[in-house]
Amino acid sequence: QSETRKQLLKLFTEAGESFLSGQKISEQLGCSRTAVWKHIEDLRKEGFEVEAVRRLGYRLKQMPDKLNANELQLGLKTKRFGWNVYDQESVPSTQQLAHQLAHEGAEEGTIVIAEEQTAGRGRLNRSWHSPKGTGIWMSIILRPSVPPQQAPQLTLLVAVAVAQAIQEVTNIVPDIKWPNDVLINGKKVVGILTELQADPDQVRAVIVGIGMNVNQTQFPSDIASIATSLAIETGRTFHRPKIVQTLLQKLEQLYEQYLQHGFLPIKLLWEGYSVTIGQQIVARTLNGAIRGVALGITDSGTLKVQTEDGAIHYVYSADIEI
């Protein structure tokens, strides 16, 4: 049953815009025309839009905008990322489940993804608004062999992957605000949360949470002035599984580059998207505010700020105001 369904979807996606005759499908799948028709009805019930035209046959017009393993893996071009998927309707936080899976030894590239989070969170336990069916709420498990001090590099790497994916699907070049915000027109479209499971000298797992606002057309009043979505910025809606696929592909590419060549190439790409560098900023840290010019990022991913007295400060974690 599910094998036939897979084969049928494969035929449809390979055919693209062209029609497939019922005859051809039944030959390829090795089942009767009636069975083909039944499979197509099943797909329709799942939300696939299948067009049927007399004499021409069938073609797939629209896939369901559902973030489940089936949709995510159909046509996925990565080697490892996204092939082990925990898809959930509703969870408190995908980070929580990903942490648990990482503890249990889940392989690198495992993702947890949900249609809704009821207790989505940002840094410092701030909450992350994650309404049902409109955004991408996902955590991915990485296992780089690096010391914990290098983990901030991964936040920047993920931000670059997110920016590249947004650029590819929308043609908009987003901005990155150090360390973990991706912005369009000055408003936050993506937040990234990087958490570690580590020994003193070695990372065991990095749990990267990515929250992307995709098809929302409005936000609650407390974040309405600072948040945006791809739909708001472009005036159209997006097929979320396609975005996840693009994102996983960019992420895997950059990650492999990082493992092979280190942080430098990633740093250069990051600087290309950055709106922080060269600006007069206020960095609000847990130990108070630092006012100055953001000179750049170091090779480990920390922010270098020069205050008026000429002193250089290294900022590991902060909220930045530009």
Q: Please pick, from the candidates 123, 204, 284, 313, the single residue that binds ligand BT5 as defined by CB under 6 A.
A: 123
User: CB of 226: closest distance to ligand BT5 in angstroms?
Assistant: 6
CA–CA separation, 282 vs 320, rounded Å?
6
CA–CA separation, 276 vs 322, rounded Å?
7
Q: Please pick, from the candidates 138, 142, 183, 203, the single residue that binds ligand BT5 as defined by CB under 6 A.
A: 138
Q: Please pick, from the candidates 120, 144, 241, 301, the single residue that binds ligand BT5 as defined by CB under 6 A.
A: 120
Please give the DSSP secondary-structure letter assigned to residue 234.
Answer: H
CB distance 158 to 251 below 8 Å: yes
Structure tokens at 259: 């493992």
* 241 lies in the binding site for ligand BT5 (CB under 6 A): no
CA–CA separation, 173 vs 135, rounded Å?
19
* 137 lies in the binding site for ligand BT5 (CB under 6 A): yes
* 191 lies in the binding site for ligand BT5 (CB under 6 A): yes
User: CB of 284: closest distance to ligand BT5 in angstroms?
Assistant: 11
Q: Please pick, from the candidates 57, 109, 144, 211, the single residue that binds ligand BT5 as defined by CB under 6 A.
A: 211
Number of Cβ within a 10 Å radius of residue 266: 23
Alpha carbon of residue 86 to chain centroid? 15
CA–CA separation, 289 vs 68, rounded Å?
43
Q: Please pick, from the candidates 76, 227, 281, 297, the single residue that binds ligand BT5 as defined by CB under 6 A.
A: 227
Which of 303, 301, 283, 299 has the alpha carbon at shortest distance from 291? 283
CB distance 50 to 58 below 8 Å: yes
Amino acid at 184: I
Among positions 260-289, residues that touch ligand BT5 (CB under 6 A) are none
CB distance 93 to 119 below 8 Å: yes
Which region, judged by CB under 6 A, interacts with ligand BT5, from 41-49, 52-60, 131-139, 263-271? 131-139
* 240 lies in the binding site for ligand BT5 (CB under 6 A): no
* 178 lies in the binding site for ligand BT5 (CB under 6 A): no
User: CB of 142: closest distance to ligand BT5 in angstroms?
Assistant: 14
Q: Please pick, from the candidates 22, 64, 75, 122, the single residue that binds ligand BT5 as defined by CB under 6 A.
A: 122
* 94 lies in the binding site for ligand BT5 (CB under 6 A): yes
Alpha carbon of residue 245 to chain centroid? 8
User: CB of 181: closest distance to ligand BT5 in angstroms?
Assistant: 6
Please report how many Cα atoms fall inside a 13 Å half-sphere around the Cα of residue 15, on the Cβ side.
20
Structure tokens at 290: 């630092």
Pick between residue 13 and residue 118 the one whose CB is nearest to ligand BT5: 118
Which region, judged by CB under 6 A, interacts with ligand BT5, from 15-23, 43-51, 123-131, 298-306? 123-131
Where on the chain is the footprint of ligand BT5 (CB under 6 A)? 93-95, 117, 120-123, 126, 128-130, 137-139, 180, 188, 191-193, 209-211, 213, 223, 226-227
